[in-house]
Amino acid sequence: MALTTPAAQVGAIVPEQVRRQLTGRRSDTAGRIFQAVLIGAVAASVAVLGVLVYDMVQTGSGTLTGRLGDFLTGSLRSQPGESGLLQGLRGTFYIGVFTVVFAFPIGVGAAIYLEEYASKSRLSRFIDLNIRNLAGVPSVVYGILGLAIFVKALGSFTGPSSQGRSLISAGLTLAILVLPIVIITASEALRAVPGSLREAGYGVGATRWEVTRDHVLPYAAPGILTGTVLALARAMGEAAPLILVGAVTGFLSGGTELDPTTLGDRFTAMPIIITTWAGRPGPEWEQATAAAIVVLLVVVLLANAVAILLRNHYEKKRG
Amino acid sequence: MSDLTTPAAYTLEDFRGSRKRMRTEHLVRAVLFLAALLSIVISVLIVASLVGEAWTFVSQVEAASLWSDGWFPRRGIYDIKTLLTGTLIVTVIAMAVAMPLGLGAAIYLSEYAPAGVRKLLKPVLEILAGIPSVVLGFFALTFLSPVIVQRLSSEATQFNIAAAGIGVGILTIPLVASISEDAMRSVPAALREASYGLGARKITTTIRVVIPAAVSGLVAAFIVAVSRAIGETMVVFIAAGATGGSLFSTDPFKPGQTMTAAIASQAAGTDQVRGAGLTFQSLFFVALLLFAITLVLNVLAGRFVQRVRQAY
């Protein structure tokens, strides 16, 4: 008993006394400055995000509050005060659809093969390395790939009416672009599944696919979903590959309906509209561009935020 | 009971399960293997589609037009050094912005930040990483250029390389921060404790123990960031001007052209890549160059990351 009371005091007072005796009157000036510099670096990085968002909302507020409905449902026009985003929203929506339909199943399938099936052979190590390198290939190079393959070589399939410069070409190009991201994040999610879960499955006689389908995948689902949402956000924000596959940078007739039979026609997308408008002179176009950016940021950052929160939630739950 | 006494009645076949299960198993395995193999097909397609046209360009272009005073592919002037210089300037400026901020943020998050602060700041940095590059391009043009660059130099034009470089730098901050932080957090706590045990201060421990121990990861962060900056297209495309072509320039306060922006700007505006002679092929040549440079950097970065993993 005698030990417990002083122990409480030891916790509070003694370390402070010891510290004072060891450091004397010297104060750790260098340490404080260093810490201040570090906090400054973090603050600057965060401030950039704040300034950027504030600047866009501020500049675009006129358009956003004045004619939001008209802005979201209108078509591209020659006047900034009349132009709307509908064609871009449709393009970006379908690019998202292509990503989910192609990149998600193929990416998750590849990740399952690499993590659950492949032995650590030379081939699987090569595939792994290859995927990591693909993730680092600049997006504009994927655009060149799309131009060479989907537009030039397969143009009669991807868009007979548009010489291949269609949403199909764009969607497939961006699905390929984000495929490595989906594979890498899905692999990480699969690797985090405890081995005991698999062993339990094998122990009762399940096959590899049964274990994967019924136990590993459900456990890894939140992680895989997070990766997919991040990849989706990335695809919806990309512009460079779309320029290469021939997104319309000027004016576009049609392209306002969601009818999937028009996927072979000419198209545009949100990032392309922003790029085009950013190049036009005058404060009115600047306002319209900022407003379009706010719309894109709402979509992309919301997707990101949801993915990050989802991941943190499950990480915490599983400790 | 009789089953137990005659174990020999079981054959290997009995443990294999039904034929249908086996068939599914093989089919699934084959499909998944194809999915994994697709990544190799994509790599092959990238290289194949680049090399063909790039070779046409190299074999047909006049050598003199590769070393003149600007990049004007539609007029048959393909001065590669204009693009390489532009790319280099953008990358240097970007790294000057991203390395100190990214590293500082990483050191703070890894060594100094209380758990609560860290949990709050990491998602913010991840959101910064999610901003599309067109947005930063517009931000560079309408904010960074007038507010920062044109104050640094009264000579600066509205479209300039410096603003684009800062924009690219902002884009790479989260990348530098996250790779460096991973590297520093993988340094074992025992090293820090040993340092404290010898009476070292936190700053000494951080600078003399943690950073040297994580240096491979920090180098990897730098290389990946350089690779990303070289490959970044839209910020330069929007903010650096010089759509169509550019004279050779080393002045960061003037418009300029990078490899990526040169590729994109040939394809933009006309809705289609076209132009006299070898314009179309020149894009593939530049893209092949870009692909080769980033590939070398990424492989190099991978080696350094591997080294951190092996060490701890």
Q: Which amino acid appears at position A134 of this protein?
A: L
Contacts of A110 in chain B (CB under 8 A): 32, 35-36, 38-39
How far is it, in rounded angstroms, from Cα B310 to Cα B222?
Answer: 19
Residues 6+ apart with CB under 8 A from A83: A71, A74, A75, A76, A77, A277, A288
CATH of the domain at A238: 1.10.3720.10
A38 lies within 8 A of chain B by CB: yes
Q: Domain spans of chain B?
A: 2-60, 64-311
Contact B130 A230 (CB under 8 A): yes
Instruction: Please classify residue A318 by burial: count the beta carbons closer than 10 Å to its beta carbon, then call 0-12 exposed, 13-18 middle and 19+ buried.
Output: exposed
A268-282 in b/e form (b: 16+ CB < 10 A) is bbbbbbbbbbbbeee
The number of domains in chain A is 1
How far is it, in rounded angstroms, from Cα A93 to Cα A274?
Answer: 16
How far is it, in rounded angstroms, from Cα A241 to Cα A255?
Answer: 19
Measure CB to CB from residue B260 to each of A34, A138, A279 and give the nearest one.
A138
Query: Is A152 inside any structural domain?
Result: yes
Query: Is A50 inside any structural domain?
Result: no
Q: Which amino acid appears at position A98 of this protein?
A: F
Q: Mind telling me how many Å the CA of B50 is from chain A's nearest CA?
A: 8
Chain B: residue whose CA lies nearest to A113:
B32
Tokens of B234: 């839209």
pLDDT digits (tens, 9 = 90+) for B209-228: 999 999 999 999 999 999 99
Interface of B with A in 209-268 (CB under 8 A): 224, 227-228, 230-234, 237-238, 243, 260, 263-264, 267-268
Q: Mind telling me how many Å the CA of A128 is from chain B's nearest CA?
A: 9
Q: What is the 8-class DSSP label of residue B245?
A: -
Task: Quote the domain boundaries for residue A278.
Answer: 68-318
Class at the top of the CATH hierarchy for domain B64-311: mainly alpha
Residue B1 pLDDT grade (very low, low, confident, very high; cuts 50, 70, 90): very low
ipTM, two decimals, is 0.88
Per-residue pLDDT of chain A (319 residues; tens, 9 = 90+): 445 555 555 556 777 777 777 766 677 888 899 999 999 999 999 999 999 999 999 999 988 888 888 888 888 888 888 888 998 999 999 999 999 999 999 999 999 999 999 888 888 889 989 999 999 999 999 999 999 899 888 888 888 877 888 899 999 999 999 999 999 999 999 999 999 999 999 999 888 999 999 999 999 998 898 888 889 999 999 999 999 988 887 677 666 666 677 788 888 899 999 998 998 888 899 999 999 999 999 999 888 888 888 877 877 777 5
Instruction: Decide: helix, strand or coil at residue B247.
Output: strand
Query: Is A124 inside any structural domain?
Result: yes
pLDDT digits (tens, 9 = 90+) for B265-275: 877 655 445 55
Query: Is A294 inside any structural domain?
Result: yes
How far is it, in rounded angstroms, from Cα A256 to Cα A223?
Answer: 35
B146 lies within 8 A of chain A by CB: no
How far is it, in rounded angstroms, from Cα A133 to Cα A127?
Answer: 10
**Average pLDDT along chain B:** 87
Instruction: Decide: helix, strand or coil at residue B77.
Output: strand
How far is it, in rounded angstroms, from Cα A214 to Cα A191?
Answer: 16
Contact A140 B231 (CB under 8 A): yes
Task: Provide φ and ψ at B246, rounded to 5°.
Answer: -155, 140
Contacts of B302 in chain A (CB under 8 A): 129, 132-133
Contacts of A286 in chain B (CB under 8 A): 142
First to last CA, chain A: 35
